[in-house]
Amino acid sequence: MKRKPWAMAIIYVVVSLAVEAALMIVGHLKVPQHNAILAPVVLTIPPLLVAWICGYRRPKELIAVAVLLSTLTLALTVTFGRITGVSTGMIEPILNRLLAGFLAGMIAVWQTNRTRPSPPIN
């Protein structure tokens, strides 16, 4: 799955929303009142899980992809929140996380291809 950004995007949306829903159901947390509790968990656990699920197992790769997912999610959420003025609902988190997952997958693939040694010329 390392070479399929769309797969990372879909997995990220599913895992991220599942973790957030679990926190809301089990912990009775609500958006935006409990964002101080929800945000740190949603921006750490799902990115790490998705990076691992997508095959980034080396510690350096795992952390890099997770940080990329988390940073892109936060940046897109803040940007679109400012533009639309919406802080609740389902469409915005789905679109933000889908785009963040796809962009992180594209960057990870680009970085992997850039750092891979060239095959020897015969």
Query: Would you state the pLDDT for residue 41?
Result: 94
Per-residue pLDDT, 64: 94
Q: CA 31 to CA 29: how far, in whole Å?
A: 7
pLDDT tens, 45-68?
Answer: 999 999 999 999 999 999 999 999
pLDDT higher at 121 or 53: 53
**How many whole angstroms separate alpha carbon 81 and alpha carbon 112?**
32
Q: What's the pLDDT tens digit per position in 20-53?
A: 999 999 999 988 889 899 999 999 999 999 999 9
Q: What is the pTM of this model?
A: 0.84
